[in-house]
Structures are given as structure tokens and as C-alpha cells.
């Protein structure tokens, strides 16, 4: 083994040992990191992945387990393909997979920085020092490790992106390394690491700008353009399978219209916290994030400035300065808010990730500068150990190691154990948090195959939260019942006639997810089935705002949802044919629903026995409460629960016997593009019912009704990724063949050799 390779292995072994020491508390599958993101969110996602891939042999495109069902794969911060997925498939234990994922990516973070620094300066000691600082700086302690695993994964791959970018620009033929750089960006997209991508883009731009300085500017510019184009094509092409669904998801969500400037700012760095933020966390805690590299580390940063003419030092210094200027809420930060992508970011202080990447490089350079100044050989040899020792003492020894906590299983929570005894299909709601969004233990419910009507994450859908808010403030039992809610968990007693007290269970005020423990359990008397057929459907037509307001008013005050379903229609009644209208017992005309051509259609509908409110044929200008009550009082019949033939995240099936009823599902299929409903190979319109759930009209058809979820954003992204991958393989194969052809002597020369 060559000396250089041996030394690389020694240094990497040191990084591995440090990783195992730092994360020793999660070796195995009995403990997990003691933070809410791992305990709730990562567990929830991991369980969904395991169930979809191992039980249903599909990707987890959809989850039925929170927010009454919504897309999962498309959520930007959730992974498509990462080590967690591979470990789940390999070991079939989500907690072991999660722990191995944390350990693996933490080690990869150090390895990436080690080889990135080595690319600049061939020093094992300095590379090792840079890697250690990258692994254990204040940003890692304060944000990366306490965050969810997707934050760590994205952070760990940044050095690899920069490494291959640097190699691409240093090579005469940059294609291979440009492809590798783009591939690592795509990996970050796959694993849900979009949180750092905008700042990584700034790092790439800064390095490209510095690379232009000096030498042949025209040649350098050409290489930058080629590298940038290839990197972008590969990153976007390979990442399309995750990017396109993610973009659709965000556009439909609260982030679609951007975020407020206050959300964008988050908690900017304060100048008074300079010491805590940049130097040492031994100082009193600041109000924002930290990238502290320790006192010894910061001194070495200053030593590095002597080599400011070196491009990698200039790049690091420039990126560091930009990072601070953004995190401080300067005019630069305000300008960045006006740009696409950046205007959808939250917490500008996360720009400190750029400082977390480049400060280790400066520390390594500063170490080499210090080493050069020392002439005495014994001290010169001792300097690496002294520098690494001082950094480790402050960044590792003096910090508390990540705490772990024993795995809590659903059956360990008495109130959840009781709920899980009920084998029917239903959802729960947890009222321990007053907010509509928050970690409330839905990961435990998911592991028992029980859905909840609330949920977590930083991205949500305004129409659904509006429904929950209206329900909470008006008719909670009724509107939650429409969402298939059967059980209510509360930290306090509930005094409501529609909530039947079940029992009080043991609580756990000191648990991370104390909300999940209740301790009070109630049954919702107005519970409704997950799927049912119903004989009466009422169509509400009008402009969007008015028809939604009308539906909510009817749900709250008039409609018995066990007898009739409200279908949210189009803006204009003339958008329907007589045949389409015939399936509705009544049509309610909200503001904006009529035009000059509406009269004949309404008259024909009324002549066939349909009820129209207001009765515009008789000149009624508006709907009266008396007429509304009269309408719903004459509707006869009640719902009939429908059993599921199959129920999986992306596919739902029921048998239909030809009844001329509507089929209603307490699912949000109607809220998202990509769901398709079929019977006997005939596609049916998916209607939004009761303000938020789903209805279809199979008519007289008999057979299996299938709801399947396969959004076009995923299909298109999948094909783009596949074509990009084939293109990369083809290019690499062609390049390798050309290289071999050039190396082989002509046939005539080979003949003469013999």
C-alpha cells in the first residue's frame, strides 16, 4: 500500500472513530436521538417508506396518516432515495436504519471536507483538521444534529459538490467532474435536502467568480460555462423525479405565493453576538445560530488571511463575508428576498451554512501558515497534534454529546394502546396543542395504521387549515366527523355533548411527545365512515369565494352529512349539461353562477324534479334560511358504509353494485392533481365534497371502483431522470471507448510487435 493511501486511510479511520464516539449513544436500534425531529418526523417518514416499499411494493407517493391524507413523496424535505431508504430495505427496522443513516452521513461530512481540502493543499494533517472542524463546529451542534436527518444529509454532501466543481475547473476536460458535481446536487434533491441548495448555489457562483481572476479569462469563462451547464443539466435532470412533484406541492401550498419578509428573516444574527456566532459557544448564548469554530480555530482563520492571493483562500473569505452579510439582515439580504427561490426561504440566518463550509478551509490554511513559521523540528512535528487536540477539546470534549432516548413504541403509550384496540377505520385528533400544525405524536398513530386529521411540517395547505379552523370554532364534532374522526385526545377535560368520555389514562409530562399521552380520551358521537354511499347530493355553484362560504354556512347550520353530501361545483351553471345535473337532488346557486344562457338549463332541470335555490324561475333573488331548512328536511335516506376491497397509500378499491348514489370518501383526493377514479375502465370525475373531502358518481355501473394516485409531475420527472441517467451512462461509455481506442496501437503496429 502506497504511503499516501495509507495516510488517507489513517485519517479517515480517525474521522470514523470520532463519529462513533460522538454518536455512541445511538449505536444499535434501542435508542434514538433525543430531539423532536427524529422522534416524530423522521420516524413518521421512515414508517411510511417501510410500509409503502415493503408491504405495498411502491413508492410512498401519498400518506393516509396525517392531515387526513396528502402527498408525501412530493414534500421537498422528505427523501426519495437515501441511505435511510436503503437501510430500511436491508434491515427492515426503521430505528436501526435511522441511526445508521445519521452515523453514515456524519462520517461522510468529514470525509467530503477532508478530500475537498486535500484538493487545495496536499497535507494530511491540515485536511484532517478541516474535516474535524466541519464535523464539530457550532452550526453542526446547534442546527444540523438537532434538526432532522435531511438537514444532516444535505450538509454532508456540500463538500463533495465543491470538490468535483473544483476538479472540473482544474481539468482540461471538465465533463466527468462536472457530471459528478451535478450528481451530488441531484442526491441532495433526492434526499430532501433542498434547505441548503440556494446557499450552495451562491458558493458555486462565488468559486466560479474567483476562478475567473487571473490567467486566460476567455478560456476560464468558457470552462466555467461548460461546467455550469453540464452541472445544471445533470442536477436538474437526475433530480427531476423529486423536483417536479416538489414544485407542484409547493405551488399548491402556503409557500406558493411566497412567504412574508418576517418569515424569510427568521432570527437574523446580531452584531452583539459576534463572539458566540463565530468564535466560541463557551460565551453566553446568542439569539441566533452559531458557526463557532473555537478560539484556536478562529486564530487559525486569521493566520490564513496571509495567503489571501490564493484563489481558494479568496473564495473562502468571500463566501464567509457573504454568509455574514446575509445572516445580519443587510441590504444584500433584503435584495436576495426579491429573487426567485430565495423569496421562499425561511430563516435567513441559515446562510451561515456557507461560513460553516469555508471556515474549515481557512483553518486548514492557517494551520499550514503557523506550521511554516515554526522552525524547531520537535515543535513542528507536534503542532498537528496540538492544533487538532485544542480544536477537539473545545468543539467536542467541552460540548455535550448528542443525547439519546429509548425507543417509545405505540403500545408503550396507554391512550394509543387503547385506541389501537378498535379495528375499524377511523382518524384521531389530538388537542394537546392549540395550533393546527405541530408534532403531536402522529408517528405513533401511523405505526398502528391510524390516521390523524392534524399534522406537522413547515409546509401546509391553506384550504385544509381553513376547514380545521372553522371546525374548531363552530361545529367541531360534526366537521371532524366528516373527516372520519372517531377519537379525540386532550390534555384537559372536554365539556361537549357530542364528545363521549372514554377514560383518563396515564400521562407523561416529561416525555418529548407528551402531547401523545393525552391523558383524556373521548369518542366523537358524530363520527362518519371513511367511505360510504349516500342517496342525496346537492350541487353548489358560483364563484370560488361565494360557493365556499355557502358550503361552510350549510355545513355548520343546515346539512345533516349522514343524509346529504354537498358537492362543490363550477363557477357557472352553464358549465353543466342536463345529463350532468340530473344526478343532483338540488342545485344551490351562489353569487356569480348565472349568465344569459342559464335559464333554459335551470328550467329543464326543475322540470325533471330538481330543486333550485334560490328559485330564480320565480324571481327569488336570494336564499332564505326557511327554504334551506325545508330542502334538507325533505331529503330522505341515509348513508351506507362501504368496505374497502384494497387500501394502500397510492391505491384504493371498493366494489360497487350499481346504485344511483354518490360514493363519498373521507379522503382529500379531490384536493390534489394526480388522483384518478375508474370503474370498468371508465374514468369518473372526482368532485370536492363537503368542503374538503371526495365524491364520485358511478351511476349504474357495477364493478370495482379504483382510485389511483400517479401525478403527472412524478411521471414526467421519472422519465426526465431516466433519460438523463441513460445519457450520462452513454456519454461515459462513449468517452471510455474513445480513450481505449486512442491507447491501443493500430493493428499493423500490433502485427509488427510480434
Quick check: 403 pLDDT over 60? yes
Please calculate the CA angle 533-688-574 and round it to the nearest 5 degrees: 105
In the 8-state DSSP scheme, what is residue 213? S
For the stretch 552-576, pLDDT in tens is 999 999 999 999 999 999 998 988 9
Confidence of residue 1 (pLDDT cuts 50, 70, 90): low
Mean pLDDT of the 279-287 span: 80
Q: Do 580 and 534 form a contact (C-beta atoms < 8 A)?
A: no
Query: Is the pLDDT higher at 90 or at 621?
Result: 90
Domain ranges of the chain: 74-397, 410-524, 536-637, 641-712
Quick check: 287 pLDDT over 80? no
Confidence of residue 751 (pLDDT cuts 50, 70, 90): very low
Whole-angstrom Cα distance, residue 549 to residue 167? 59
For the stretch 661-697, pLDDT in tens is 999 999 999 999 999 999 999 999 999 999 999 999 9
Whole-angstrom Cα distance, residue 70 to residue 249? 10
> CATH says 536-637 is which class?
alpha beta
Mean pLDDT of the 273-293 span: 85
Mean pLDDT of the 302-325 span: 94
Quick check: 111 pLDDT over 50? yes
Grid coordinates standing for 585?
Answer: 337532488
Judge residue 691's burial from the number of C-beta atoms within 10 Å of its C-beta, 0-12 exposed, 13-18 middle, 19 or more buried. Answer: buried
Q: How many helices (H) and strands (E) does the chain have?
A: 28, 23
Neighbours of 662 (CB within 10 A): 24
The pLDDT assigned to 228 comes to: 96
Whole-angstrom Cα distance, residue 355 to residue 373? 26
The pLDDT assigned to 398 comes to: 86
Quick check: 92 pLDDT over 70? yes
The pLDDT assigned to 744 comes to: 64
Q: Any idea which of 225-234, 269-278, 340-349, 737-746 has the lowest mean pLDDT? A: 737-746
Query: Is the pLDDT higher at 485 or at 743?
Result: 485
Distances in whole angstroms, Cα of residue 609 to Cα of each of 489, 564, 598:
45, 17, 17
The pLDDT assigned to 285 comes to: 77
Q: Any idea which of 61-65, 188-192, 502-506 has the lowest mean pLDDT? A: 188-192
Q: Mean of the per-residue pLDDT values for the chain?
A: 92
Whole-angstrom Cα distance, residue 642 to residue 72? 26
Amino acid at each position: 500500500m502506497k504511503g499516501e493511501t495509507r495516510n488517507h486511510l489513517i485519517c479517515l479511520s480517525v474521522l470514523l472513530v470520532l463519529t462513533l464516539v460522538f454518536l455512541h449513544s445511538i449505536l444499535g436500534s434501542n435508542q434514538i436521538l433525543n430531539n423532536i425531529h427524529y422522534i416524530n418526523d423522521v420516524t413518521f417518514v421512515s414508517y411510511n417508506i417501510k410500509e409503502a416499499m415493503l408491504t405495498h411494493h411502491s413508492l410512498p407517493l401519498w400518506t393516509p396518516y396525517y392531515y387526513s391524507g396528502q402527498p408525501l413523496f412530493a414534500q421537498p424535505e422528505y427523501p426519495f432515495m437515501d441511505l435511510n431508504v436503503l437501510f430500511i430495505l436491508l434491515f427492515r427496522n426503521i430505528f436501526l436504519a435511522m441511526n445508521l443513516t445519521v452515523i453514515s452521513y456524519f462520517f461522510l461530512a468529514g470525509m467530503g471536507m477532508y478530500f475537498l481540502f486535500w484538493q487545495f493543499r496536499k497535507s494530511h494533517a491540515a485536511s484532517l483538521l478541516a474535516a474535524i472542524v466541519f464535523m464539530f463546529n457550532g452550526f453542526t451542534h446547534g442546527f444540523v444534529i438537532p434538526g432532522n436527518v435531511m438537514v444532516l444529509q444535505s450538509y454532508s454532501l456540500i463538500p463533495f459538490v465543491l470538490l468535483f466543481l473544483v476538479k472540473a475547473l482544474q481539468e482540461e476536460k471538465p465533463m466527468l467532474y462536472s457530471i459528478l458535481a451535478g450528481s451530488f446536487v441531484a442526491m441532495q434533491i433526492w434526499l430532501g435536502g433542498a434547505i441548503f441548495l440556494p446557499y450552495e448555489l451562491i458558493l458555486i457562483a462565488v468559486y466560479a467568480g474567483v476562478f475567473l481572476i487571473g490567467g486566460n479569462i476567455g478560456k476560464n469563462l468558457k470552462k466555467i460555462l461548460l461546467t455550469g451547464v453540464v452541472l445544471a443539466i445533470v442536477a436538474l435532470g437526475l433530480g427531476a423525479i423529486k423536483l417536479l412533484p416538489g414544485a407542484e406541492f409547493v405551488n399548491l401550498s402556503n409557500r406558493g405565493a411566497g412567504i412574508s419578509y418576517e418569515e424569510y428573516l427568521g432570527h437574523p444574527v446580531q452584531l452583539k453576538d459576534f463572539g458566540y456566532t463565530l468564535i466560541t459557544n463557551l460565551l453566553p448564548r446568542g439569539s441566533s445560530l452559531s458557526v463557532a469554530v473555537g478560539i484556536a480555530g478562529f486564530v487559525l482563520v486569521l493566520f490564513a488571511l496571509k495567503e489571501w492571493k490564493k484563489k481558494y483562500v479568496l473564495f473562502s473569505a468571500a463566501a464567509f463575508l457573504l454568509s455574514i452579510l446575509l445572516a445580519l439582515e443587510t441590504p444584500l439580504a433584503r435584495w436576495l428576498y426579491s429573487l426567485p427561490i430565495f423569496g421562499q426561504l425561511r430563516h435567513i440566518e441559515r446562510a451561515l451554512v456557507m461560513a460553516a463550509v469555508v471556515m474549515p478551509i481557512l483553518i486548514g490554511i492557517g494551520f499550514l501558515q503557523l506550521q511554516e513559521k515554526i522552525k524547531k523540528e520537535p515543535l513542528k512535528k507536534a503542532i498537528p497534534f496540538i492544533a487538532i487536540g485544542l480544536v477537539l477539546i473545545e468543539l467536542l470534549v467541552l460540548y455535550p454529546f448528542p443525547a439519546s432516548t429509548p425507543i417509545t413504541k405505540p403500545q408503550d403509550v396507554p391512550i394509543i394502546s387503547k385506541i389501537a384496540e378498535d379495528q375499524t377505520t377511523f382518524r384521531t385528533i389530538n388537542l394537546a396543542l392549540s395550533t393546527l400544525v405541530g408534532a403531536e405524536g402522529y408517528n405513533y398513530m401511523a405505526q398502528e395504521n391510524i390516521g390523524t386529521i392534524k399534522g406537522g411540517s413547515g409546509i401546509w395547505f391553506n384550504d385544509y387549515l381553513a376547514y380545521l379552523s372553522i371546525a374548531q370554532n363552530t361545529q367541531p364534532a360534526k366537521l371532524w366527523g366528516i373527516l372520519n374522526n372517531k377519537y379525540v385526545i386532550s390534555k384537559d377535560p372536554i365539556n361537549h355533548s357530542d364528545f363521549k368520555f372514554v377514560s383518563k389514562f396515564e400521562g407523561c409530562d416529561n416525555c418529548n411527545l407528551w402531547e401523545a399521552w393525552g391523558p383524556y380520551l373521548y369518542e366523537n358521537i358524530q363520527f362518519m365512515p371513511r367511505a360510504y354511499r349516500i342517496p342525496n347530493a346537492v350541487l353548489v355553484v358560483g364563484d370560488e369565494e361565494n360557493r365556499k362560504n355557502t358550503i361552510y354556512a350549510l355545513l355548520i347550520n343546515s346539512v345533516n352529512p349522514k343524509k346529504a353530501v354537498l358537492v362543490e361545483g363550477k363557477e357557472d351553471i352553464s358549465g353543466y349539461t342536463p345529463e350532468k345535473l340530473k344526478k343532483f337532488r338540488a342545485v344551490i346557486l351562489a353569487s356569480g353562477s348565472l349568465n344569459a344562457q342559464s335559464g333554459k338549463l335551470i328550467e329543464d332541470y326543475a322540470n325533471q324534479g330538481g330543486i333550485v335555490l334560490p328559485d330564480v324561475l320565480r324571481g327569488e333573488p336570494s336564499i332564505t334560511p326557511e327554504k334551506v331548512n325545508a330542502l334538507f328536511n325533505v331529503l330522505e335516506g341515509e348513508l351506507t358504509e362501504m368496505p374497502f376491497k384494497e387500501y394502500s397509500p397510492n391505491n384504493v378499491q371498493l366494489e360497487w353494485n350499481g346504485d344511483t348514489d354518490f360514493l363519498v370518501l373521507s379522503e382529500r383526493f379531490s384536493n390534489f392533481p394526480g388522483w384518478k377514479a375508474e370503474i370498468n375502465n371508465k374514468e369518473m370525475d372526482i368532485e370536492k365534497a363537503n368542503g374538503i373531502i371526495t365524491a364520485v358518481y358511478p351511476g349504474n355501473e357495477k364493478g370495482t371502483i379504483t382510485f389511483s394516485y400517479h401525478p403527472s409531475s412524478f411521471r414526467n420527472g421519472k422519465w426526465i431522470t431516466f433519460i438523463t441517467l441513460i445519457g450520462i451512462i452513454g456519454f461515459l461509455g462513449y468517452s471510455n471507448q474513445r480513450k481505449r481506442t486512442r491507447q491501443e496501437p493500430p493493428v499493423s503496429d500490433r502485427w509488427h510487435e510480434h
